Amino acid sequence: MLKIIHERPKCISCGSCVAVCPSYFELDSKDGLANLKNSKRLSDGSEELEVDKADCIKEAIDVCPVQIIKTKK
């Protein structure tokens, strides 16, 4: 299992992650920040999701200008 961590409070709403990885990311219509789909929200506002395969996550990590998307095994 791979854990995706998205530090949502640091998001700058650029939409890069959504553009390269729409299966995991979407822009919130209320505040414009990116959401990690189907994730659980942590107490610090970050989001966490466990997945079997990384799919397009590597691309999302690479294009994020503020480097707030990470993975852990």
Examine the pLDDT at 54 and tell me if it is beyond 90.
no
In this predicted structure, the answer to whether residue 62 has a pLDDT above a threshold of 90 is yes
Residue 30: pLDDT over 90: yes
Checking if the pLDDT of 58 tops 90, the result is yes
> Helix/strand/coil (H, E, C) string of 1-65?
CEEEEECHHHCCCCCHHHHHCCCCEEECCCCCCEEECCCEECCCCCEEEEECCCCCHHHHHHHCC
CATH of 2-72, one of 3.30.70.20, 3.40.190.10, 3.90.79.10, 3.90.1070.10: 3.30.70.20
pTM for this entry: 0.93
What pLDDT is recorded for position 49?
Answer: 98
For the segment 9-17, the average pLDDT, to the nearest whole number, is 98
